[in-house]
Amino acid sequence: MKKREGIIQQFSTFLSLRNDNKNFNFIWKAEIYLERNISFLVQSELNAKEEYWARYFLKIIRELSKQELFEKKENLSISISSSEKFAEAHLCAYLQKACLWAARRSSQRFKFIQHKYPLEEYFQIANSAIYPPAKLLKNFNFDYHQTNIEGYTKTSVIRFISNTIYQKELEGKREKFSNYGLLKDLSKKEMQEALGIKGINQNRVSLYCLAWQCLEQIYQPNQR
């Protein structure tokens, strides 16, 4: 996969999957309307780096979101401005690289369930995390100059993917919990499904579930 060059590409292209002989590869695809807009904007700040523009678009999103909240509070008609739509799209384009990085790290971390989650699936989950970007970056502090938006996004998206796997997959929870913790976190339905997969008959499943319910009521983990 080619590396994006320059501010215009970084804020106007998105990753897309291409099927080459039954193998999926990521390629960059440009959005013309974003390309035109960022080309116009960079003329005013020719020497500005990518972090400058990422913060610039996030500031626009936050300012317009505050305006929308005010209009909602005052029962005024609310309309999402084109400036906010452009800012969100530019920021999402910029964060594509962070999404792919988080997807690859998650694929390595959860390799024991890679039969269920190929890299493309992790990337889709990552993309769902960054939209809307205002929600993902709501706690980003502009005063912390040592923290950049891409690094902050990587950490947040990794956490989002992990939580998604923990919620959906019993196998994924094995990495997060101890044996007792896993039993405490299971629902009755998950317990029955897990026992059924092991080939345990229904009578013994009922006994195991009874023991599990006793554990639920009696066992309390030590908390600091």
Amino acid at 108: Q
Look at residue 80 and tell me whether its pLDDT is greater than 60.
Answer: no
* Residue 216 · residue 184 · CB < 8 Å: yes
Mean pLDDT of the chain: 84
Q: How many other β-carbons are positioned within 10 Å of the β-carbon of residue 89?
A: 21
| Mean pLDDT along residues 134-162 | 93
Distance CA 182, CA 215 (A): 12
Closest CA to 44 of 93, 7, 96, 81: 7
For tokens 């995390």, the residue is 129
Q: What is the DSSP track for 15-64?
A: EEEEEETTEEEEEEEE-HHHHHHHHHHGGG-TT--HHHHHHHHHHHHHHH
26 by Cβ neighbours in 10 Å (0-12 / 13-18 / 19+) ranks as: middle
Read off the pTM. Answer: 0.72
- Residue count (the chain): 224
Structural tokens at position 45: 């700040």
Instruction: Determine how many CB atoms are found less than 10 A away from the CB of residue 210.
Output: 10
pLDDT tens, 167-211? 776 666 666 666 666 676 677 777 787 787 778 888 888 888 888
User: What single-letter amino acid sits at 131?
Assistant: Y
33-76: pLDDT as tens digits: 999 999 999 999 989 999 999 999 999 999 887 765 545 555 54
Q: How far is Cα 109 from Cα 84, in angstroms, rounded to an integer?
A: 35
Closest CA to 156 of 181, 130, 182, 175: 130
Pinpoint the alpha helices (H) of the chain: 6-10, 32-41, 50-73, 82-94, 96-109, 119-129, 133-136, 149-168, 170-176, 179-185, 188-197, 202-218
Give the mean model confidence (pLDDT) for residues 211-223: 73
State the Cα–Cα distance between residues 205 and 122, nearest whole angstrom: 34
For 153-178, b/e burial (b = at least 16 CB within 10 A) is bbebbbebbbebbbeeebebbeeeee
Q: Cα–Cα–Cα angle for 5, 123, 178, nearest 5°?
A: 130
